[in-house]
Amino acid sequence: MAILQILEIPDTRLRRKAKAVTSVTEDIRSLMSDMAETLYDCDNSVGLAAIQVGVEHRVLVIDADQTEKGPGRLYKMANPEIVWFSEEKTLSAEGCFSVPGCYADVERSAAVHATYIDENNQPQKVEAMGLLAACIQHEIDHLDGILFVDHLSPLKRERVMKRLQKIRRFSA
């Protein structure tokens, strides 16, 4: 397993639409494992999409249950698809590895139902609420070339981008 390098904006690869996986092969399982290791290596991490590590496959990993005591329920998903969105919406702060150090409130469906192929090449379903639902929506957005900042008003997006520039300037 390996820690993967995470792409950051303005890297244009983040805007590409990921391609469907035809089968969960040993290479895809290895990618999922490396992505999980990368996820757990970062503080306050919940999910990671393959496109964020420069791989154009519809693959993501999510652990919305981890605590300081350790990992929670790890989802390894290939070809995830949301098949139902609740009408109820929630507003919560989101951040992203690809927009480091920046957070903003994003409105998303409070609950979703999703289908995916697991690491054993088996079809699965998940009914998610709260953080897990928001994370599934966030990570699938990545697979479609969408970042959380795209859900913000132009003014809020500009503020986030200025904050990112400031963070980069002071960390250089």
Characterize 21-49 residue by residue with b for buried, 16 or more Cβ atoms within 10 angstroms of its Cβ, and e for exposed: beebeeebbebbebbbebbbeeeebbbbb
For the question of residue 139 being annotated catalytic, the response is: yes
Which entry of 37, 119, 139, 158 is annotated as an active-site residue? 139
Taking alpha carbons only, the member of 100, 108, 92 closest to residue 160 is 100
Q: How far apart are CA 111 and CA 130, in angstroms?
A: 7
Residues with catalytic function? 139
